[in-house]
Chain A
Amino acid sequence: MKVRTVSPFPDIPKRLEVEGPAFMGGEGEVYFSRCGQFVVKVYHDRMLPQDKEKMLEKVLFLGRNLGEDTKLLCWPLALVKELEGRRKIGVVTRKVPCPPFQELVDVVFSPREFKRAVERGANWLHYLQVAHSLAKTVAVLHGKGCAHADLHFKNFLVDLKNGRSVLIDLDGLVVPGFLPPQVAGMMPFMAPEVIRGFATPNEKTDRHSLAVLIFHTLLFRNPLQPLICYDPEDEERDEKIGWGEQALFSEHPFDFRHRPLFLGRPLFRRGVLSYSMFPPFLRHLVERSFLEGLFVPERRPLAREWEQALLFSFFTVWRCKQCTQYFFYPYWLPFFLRRCPFCGKRVEFPYPLLGRLYGERSSEVAASRGEVVLGHRFQVVGKMFQERCQDIFGEILWREKGYSFRNLSTRRIEWLSPFGSSGYLEEGEEILLERGMLLDFGGYFLEVKEDGCTV
């Protein structure tokens, strides 16, 4: 079939040969171009608001100078004018290659999808990368003053092995005063105020959807999944109440109505993962999203906050010796309770080294996320202190008597022992680390909280 398009971009063909429809959605039909490069979405005429085409033109206008961000956002590139000679309204976007990309739902819907992915060589660390990518993508979009309005796990395509994601379906963007909301969303990801009809999608409802998506990606369940029935007569109304008026965090500290059975039991022993496996700075964001901010949109964390916290959380992961999954090393628990949340195996000697970070200017290192978990051959890098710092300071090595630090940089690194001695490390020199020792990287400090040997 032939499609005629108009586009502000010179490299988009004016005429496309398409096949399909490949999908039929609620809004319209989706076709693939014969050249394999484009996706064409044609709306059902009856569903269209009068000024849909005007709105789409605005969306296109907003996507003029994306640059690097096209890797994260699959922005509309052209408008459809005609399909087979008939006047139609629609959009053209580039086609995201599947595989390696697939819908997020296919890897996170339930623990079964996770198991399937693990059997194909994926690891939970890939999921953490994807979660970070989701947050980054939404942060970029919000940074442009746009809200997506329909974030859910079928609108993110992910490449699990490489921890990448692409956001699609940007034709319903919301920009206050410029583009009004056009879509409602998918119930399990919608903010309660939208389900209840008190608000239309906006940046703050996106924040809710993003928090649900991140939770779902890391724990394989919806944090607000209603478990009880509110209206036995009408399932649709029941769902609306369960996700809207009666929306409740599954791990609410004293309201247990939506608490799943076997919460906190290891996942591979028919258990359910709990957000208590998150380090404190991530737990805090979950609580702001689903406890404080569930009905108070202003309290919900910004996409940018998630992005930063998830980035930092990479420095707290440890690998299970039994099931080989990575997990957040639970340094906040006593030693005998530090277990792998997937298989339940206790962390054994040698334990990782636990460091605490400080900066001369306190604003640079948020005190709440100061812990890093280090093991043999882990590097100590500037990124731990500041997102943009590319420096490598040194590496941690496991030696006979314990962990030592080796200076990999050209600068002199000062060390201070808790017993009062001190000295300098030149390039290539190393020193055995013990509890209480302080390393000074010039304005950035690392304190050894646990040396991995003494309990």
Chain B
Amino acid sequence: MEEEVIMDVTLSQGLRHLPVYLLLDTSGSMTGAPIQAVQEGLVLFKREVEKDTFARETVWVSIIVFGREVLNLTQGLVPIDSLEIPSLEAGGYTPLGGALRLLIDSLDRDVKKPVRGGEKGDWKPLVFILTDGKPTDDWKSPRNELLMRKERKVLNVITVGCGPDIDETTLREIAIGPSFKMDADSASFAAFFRWVSQTVKSVSQSVSQPQGENIPTPMPIPPDVLQYIP
């Protein structure tokens, strides 16, 4: 019998990555079932995105939590298949501003910049923000910075508020792109993460299809549990 051959293969060269940022609220009010549901949601997200060949090869993820501490748990962007799901702990306030700062840092540091005649850059990042309350720090100035960026801009920031404490007015103020609200039960979280996975999959694919200049990135219709805030 032949000896076992080790198949050490590489990824395709020249593929653009699609950076995906998940900004997750881990404040005290998320304690218990909600944080558990978010944790499970992350597992579902990884599993769903990995199933899709396009997404598996192109999606890079960063998870930023804001609660007792503000942390980039993945320390930058990691390929979806080497993403290790961190364990989340709830506690503290809702320092959304700090999280936005970390997002800006990572955009500057980790998103690959194109060089004319040299390496291609990454796709514009997708950002999802999940929060259950009012921000407790200065979030206005980092939000403005994000809006004013000239290079390495983000493709879309989708904000989802969950639970009974969500204030639509604040949510609308925070949001840069579309915003939604939902309940804080486990079914809602599961539906939310499934929708995030679908969005990521369809964006990773649609970027290789030529579009008219003004057609927005197609986004799967959000599940019923997500209520659009106009």
State the A residues within 8 Å of B (CB).
24, 26, 103, 105-106, 109-115, 118-119, 184-188, 190, 195, 220-222, 225-232, 235-236, 238-240, 242, 258, 260-262, 267-272, 321-324, 343
Instruction: Write the nearest CB–CB distance from B37 to chain A, whole angstroms.
Output: 25
Cβ-defined contact, B5 with A109, below 8 A: no
Please name the 7 residue pairs, one residue from A and one from B, whose CB atoms are nearest each other, closest first: A111-B9, A232-B114, A323-B5, A110-B12, A229-B114, A227-B14, A225-B14
Cβ-defined contact, A324 with B7, below 8 A: no
The verdict on A118 contacting B7 (CB below 8 Å), with A187-B209, A221-B12, A260-B13 known, is yes
Instruction: Write the nearest CB–CB distance from A228 to chain B, whole angstroms.
Output: 6
The yes or no answer to B173 lying at the interface (CB within 8 A) is no
Cβ-defined contact, B120 with A226, below 8 A: yes
Which residue in B13, B54, B124 is a CB contact (below 8 Å) of A227? B13
Cβ-defined contact, B210 with A184, below 8 A: yes
Task: Please give, as numbers and ranges, the residues of chain B lying within 8 Å of A118 by CB-CB distance.
Answer: 7
Cβ-defined contact, A229 with B120, below 8 A: yes
Name the residue in A24, A222, A232, A267 with the highest tally of chain B Cβ atoms < 10 Å from its Cβ: A232
Which residue in B9, B12, B14, B202 is a CB contact (below 8 Å) of A24? B202
| Minimal Cβ-Cβ distance residue in A for B221 | A24
| Minimal Cβ-Cβ distance residue in B for A345 | B5
Which residue in A24, A238, A242, A270 is a CB contact (below 8 Å) of B8? A270
The verdict on A235 contacting B57 (CB below 8 Å), with A24-B202, A270-B9 known, is no
The yes or no answer to B220 lying at the interface (CB within 8 A) is yes
Cβ-defined contact, A235 with B13, below 8 A: no
Cβ-defined contact, B7 with A268, below 8 A: yes
- Assembled-state Cα–Cα distance A15/B226 (Å): 33
- Assembled-state Cα–Cα distance A258/B14 (Å): 9
Cβ-defined contact, A26 with B206, below 8 A: yes
Cβ-defined contact, A228 with B7, below 8 A: no
Cβ-defined contact, B202 with A115, below 8 A: no
The verdict on A110 contacting B11 (CB below 8 Å), with A229-B114, A322-B2, A323-B2 known, is yes
Name the residue in B120, B207, B221 with the highest tally of chain A Cβ atoms < 10 Å from its Cβ: B120
Question: What is the interface size of chain B, counting residues whose CB is below 8 A from a CB of the partner?
Answer: 39
Cβ-defined contact, A261 with B210, below 8 A: no
The verdict on A228 contacting B2 (CB below 8 Å), with A112-B57, A268-B9, A272-B13 known, is no
Q: What are 28 residue pairs bridging A and B, where the CB atoms are less than 8 Å apart in the complex?
A: A103-B53, A105-B54, A110-B11, A111-B12, A112-B57, A115-B7, A195-B210, A220-B12, A221-B13, A225-B15, A228-B119, A229-B117, A229-B118, A229-B120, A230-B116, A232-B113, A232-B121, A236-B210, A258-B14, A261-B13, A262-B10, A268-B5, A268-B7, A269-B8, A270-B9, A272-B13, A321-B2, A323-B2
Residues 103-133 of B at the A interface (beta carbon under 8 Å): 113-121, 123-124
Count A-B contacts at CB 8 Å: 124
- Assembled-state Cα–Cα distance A232/B16 (Å): 13
State the B residues within 8 Å of A (CB).
2-3, 5-16, 53-54, 57, 113-121, 123-124, 198, 202, 206-211, 218, 220-221
Task: Please give, as numbers and ranges, the residues of chain A lying within 8 Å of B209 by CB-CB distance.
Answer: 26, 184-187
Name the residue in A24, A110, A272, A324 with the highest tally of chain B Cβ atoms < 10 Å from its Cβ: A110
Cβ-defined contact, B118 with A228, below 8 A: yes
Instruction: Write the nearest CB–CB distance from A49 to chain B, whole angstroms.
Output: 14
Instruction: Write the nearest CB–CB distance from B9 to chain A, whole angstroms.
Output: 4
Task: Please give, as numbers and ranges, the residues of chain A lying within 8 Å of B218 by CB-CB distance.
Answer: 26
Task: Please give, as numbers and ranges, the residues of chain A lying within 8 Å of B207 by CB-CB distance.
Answer: 235-236, 239
Cβ-defined contact, A105 with B5, below 8 A: no
Instruction: Write the nearest CB–CB distance from B215 to chain A, whole angstroms.
Output: 9
Task: Please give, as numbers and ranges, the residues of chain B lying within 8 Å of A24 by CB-CB distance.
Answer: 198, 202, 220-221
| Minimal Cβ-Cβ distance residue in B for A240 | B210
Task: Please give, as numbers and ranges, the residues of chain B lying within 8 Å of A260 by CB-CB distance.
Answer: 13-14
| Minimal Cβ-Cβ distance residue in A for B115 | A229
Instruction: Write the nearest CB–CB distance from B170 to chain A, whole angstroms.
Output: 31
Instruction: Write the nearest CB–CB distance from B230 to chain A, whole angstroms.
Output: 20
Cβ-defined contact, B120 with A343, below 8 A: no
Instruction: Write the nearest CB–CB distance from B55 to chain A, whole angstroms.
Output: 11
- Assembled-state Cα–Cα distance A228/B117 (Å): 5
